[in-house]
Chains A and B, each alone.
Chain A
Amino acid sequence: MLSRVADSLYWMSRYMERTDGILRMLKVNHHSSQDDREGFTWQPVLKIFSSLEDAQIEEMEMNGRKVLQYMVVDRDNPSSVLNMVTKSRENARSVQDNITKELWQALNEFYHVVRHERLEYSLRVDDPMTVLDSLVRQCMLYYGVTDNTMSRGEGLSFMNTGKFLERAIQSADILDVRFSDLSYDLEKSTDTTYWKYLLLSVSGYELYLKRYRSGFEARNVIDLILFNVDFPRSVLYSLNQLHRQFARLKDEQNMEGFSKVDFIIGRVRSKVQYSDVQSVARIGLHNYLKEITADFYEIGNALNQVYFANS
């Protein structure tokens, strides 16, 4: 496979994964903004998914409609859904002969949906939930079509590598931002709705209820989002998948490069697999997350060097 093609598939997939993450987060935040909760703000969303300065965030954080406009359809926001989907489609467009026609059409339609002028109007006037749901559905379509039509080859492996790396980064980011609210104090008690919405934003609420019978505790939330192997958005799950998907790229012709990337993935995976909430508490959540996030970026750089011919 051409290096340029591998690069484009990887980024196409990362941008879609990020789109999906943004949309879920917006949905949950909007929902939670309807509770009239004390101290509610859009600040974490903007912190995780935008590169705005603190002052700009402050200006916008209490205005839900404005945040939605900014995060979904704003053309000047490089991380708006519109720009993410555009980038993803632009990558897809340059590798159309390496993805199925169905997948190209799914992305192309998504692109036309987010660019339609009706969307901006609906976000301003209609029920935002309905609008966001319709966009999430486009993401689901993308995932479904990918799974059902793409051949199990190198291309899909690069897409999945991008997808799970992006997901691991996101889950770590979400934990970091949410716990920075609590000054990373795992003993600090907060009201249950805080946890509820955090879990909802990563689709982990129901699993949490079934798994942890003792109610909402910071330690359990960390356990779920970092270490639960059955939870598809946990960091460990993402790393296991990343390792598995990447292993398919093993190739005699490029053993040296493969081993280099494989080593880094294996190292961070073991690091996460063989830690638990106690050990995280010992070194401090923020330090721990900083450490593994640095590893994630190292993986990205190594992929760049070894496979995408960008050094």
Chain B
Amino acid sequence: MEAADLFEKYPHNPLVWDEMHAPDHVRPQYQKVFDFLLDIPADELSKKEELAKRLFMSQGITFTVYSSGEGIEKIFPFDIIPRIIMASEWQLIERGISQRLRALNLFLKDVYHQQFILKDGIVPIDLVYSCPHFLREMQGVNVPFDIYVQIAGIDLIRDNDGTFYVLEDNLRTPSGVSYMIENREITKRIFPDLIPQNHVLPVTHYPNILYKNLMSFSPRQVSSPNIVLLTPGIFNSAYFEHTTLARLMGIELVEGRDLVVENHRVYMKTTGGLQQVDVIYRRVDDDFLDPLVFNPDSTLGVSGLLSAYRKGNVAIVNAIGNGVADDKAIYVYVPEMIRYYLNEEPILKNVPTLHLAKPDEQKHVLANIHKMVIKKTNESGGYGMLMGHVASEKEIEDYKKEILKDPRQFIAQPVISLSSAPCYINGVMQPRRIDLRPFALCGPNGIEIVPGGLTRVALREGSLVVNSSQGGGSKDTWVLAGS
């Protein structure tokens, strides 16, 4: 095959923003990569794809699917063509996310203390109190530096005019950051020299920033506090990420059974006896953290952890009870929060969102259900969604019944046509829809966002759902240095 064929048949959809191709030219941030790809013999790309797969497999960058009693190693699908973001675009994203995160932290502090925003009627009280992730146990609890969200993954999408929108905030235990780091390492292997030639900003310092922040949250004033990463264990699909982060920060990876609470202090069981733990970066959900307070059947957590936390004897990252701020019904009010707490106009827009608990909005949604995406307010990972434009009549009817049972749990958004990026699939360059999840770190010295993030790809043709649980993959995400 001739090299020039690679993009010759690349389809252009005028209703979709393509990251590489403007209607009549290649966007400047992609020019070098585009030229490079044209020079490569086509079968060379397939070889590189093969190499990428082999590297993921041999390095154990995999998750295990257990079936018929036997574990099978799977790779999170990776597309070899990087997604590229210009410096000017990145500056906007960075400012927008920082602003949003400042407001969300203030909201959490407020909602678990004086509740000014509820009393002033900006956010409806019943919305907060009906959220299952609003934890009364957190009322009046002080957290270090008033920071509740130390690590945030804010999902961004682009509409057909290229505008960035915030699709959702992930403020509990956002995952995927190890893929930001590993995807870059793989690109270095499959496309040597390409990264320095394009002046791509590095992402490898993410664990160093996080570690520095974790240190500062230690309640004990000691020179080397004990910091641990709490994982649900090897059966968790994000286990690889937990080990990677623990390794890159040099902290201990622990499971619930390694910890014990005594006299409102948390200890880990070591070969030299019990050792006090100061900071827990937990990747276990609130519900499973402490069987004495939350789900009593949980074996993943530690009995008495919450009491130690409330006494301020241990720091937990992210804070407990953050789910009230990333509830999809509360999301609607984030722009208002920004105005209320910061007296600023939101830099990044929300996707227009209707809440089905409001009678007039519900009426509108049900009448226009074919143009809507309906989501459950407390689900993530792409579960429990209805895509109105592709769902069957039966699916819609069933879903309507669900909605009417408890409208509080549902929101609706217009079908947003996510931007597309070229992907190398089955030897052909094809457009696929993508989103972007940058990872923001919030510490005592402010908010830092490593230039990059996780670009998720809806690998199925025409699909708008990028979640890995729904057949999504990922790309290396480049942010170019400013000129």
A positions within 8 Å CB-CB of B = 1-6, 75, 90, 93-97, 101, 104-105, 108-109, 112, 154, 158, 249, 251, 253-254, 307, 309
Contacts and interface: CB of A to CB of B under 8 A. Distances in A.
A105 B60 contact: yes
B285 to A, nearest CB: 20
B59 A108 contact: yes
A5 B257 CA distance: 12
B252 A97 contact: yes
Given A97-B247, A253-B273, A4 B255 contact: yes
Interface residues of B, number: 25
Contacts of B234: 90, 93-94
B70 interface: yes
B243 interface: yes
A2 B57 contact: no
A309 B269 contact: yes
Nearest to A307: B271
Contacts of B269: 2-4, 309
28 contacts: A1-B270, A2-B258, A2-B268, A2-B271, A3-B270, A3-B271, A4-B255, A4-B269, A5-B252, A75-B70, A93-B60, A93-B234, A93-B239, A93-B243, A94-B234, A96-B60, A96-B253, A97-B243, A97-B246, A97-B247, A97-B251, A97-B252, A249-B271, A251-B272, A253-B272, A253-B273, A254-B271, A307-B271
**Max chain B C-beta neighbours (<10 A), residue from A6, A97, A108, A251:** A97
Contacts of A3: 258, 269-271
Interface string B246-262: 11000111110110000
B137 to A, nearest CB: 28
Contact of B60 (A104, A158, A309): A104
Contacts of B58: 105, 108-109, 112
Contacts of A101: 59, 247
Contacts of B270: 1-3
A6 B273 CA distance: 13
Contacts of B239: 93
Interface string B338-379: 000000000000000000000000000000000000000000
A34 B271 CA distance: 49
Which 9 pairs of residues, A with B, have the shortest CB-CB distance? A96-B243, A97-B246, A253-B272, A97-B247, A108-B60, A307-B271, A97-B253, A3-B269, A6-B271
A90 B58 CA distance: 15
A109 B55 CA distance: 11
A100 to B, nearest CB: 9
Interface in B219-262: 233-234, 239, 243, 246-247, 251-255, 257-258
A112 to B, nearest CB: 7
A95 B239 CA distance: 11
Nearest to B273: A253
Contacts of B273: 253-254
Contacts of B252: 2, 5, 97
Given A95-B253, A108-B58, 9 more contacts: A1-B270, A2-B252, A2-B254, A2-B271, A93-B243, A97-B243, A105-B60, A112-B57, A112-B58
Interface of B: 57-60, 70, 73, 233-234, 239, 243, 246-247, 251-255, 257-258, 268-273
A307 to B, nearest CB: 5
A1 B271 CA distance: 6
Contacts of A108: 58-60
A112 B62 CA distance: 12
A86 B373 CA distance: 44
A158 B57 CA distance: 28
A3 B271 CA distance: 5
A41 B243 CA distance: 46
A163 B246 CA distance: 26
A254 B271 CA distance: 8
A307 B272 CA distance: 8
A3 B239 CA distance: 20
Contacts of A90: 234
A238 B234 CA distance: 33
A1 B246 CA distance: 14
A309 B247 CA distance: 24
A303 to B, nearest CB: 10
Contacts of B258: 2-4
A49 to B, nearest CB: 22
Contacts of B57: 112
A200 B273 CA distance: 44
A304 B273 CA distance: 14
Contact of B59 (A5, A105, A249): A105
Nearest to B59: A105
Contacts of A94: 233-234
A4 B257 contact: yes
Contacts of A154: 271
A254 B254 CA distance: 21
Contacts of B253: 95-97
B370 to A, nearest CB: 46
Contacts of A97: 243, 246-247, 251-253
A185 B152 CA distance: 73
Interface centre among B60, B70, B271 (most CB of A within 10 A): B271
Contacts of A104: 60
A1 B274 CA distance: 10
A6 B251 CA distance: 16
Nearest to B243: A96
B269 to A, nearest CB: 5
A105 B247 CA distance: 14
B259 to A, nearest CB: 10
Nearest to A90: B234
Contacts of A253: 272-273
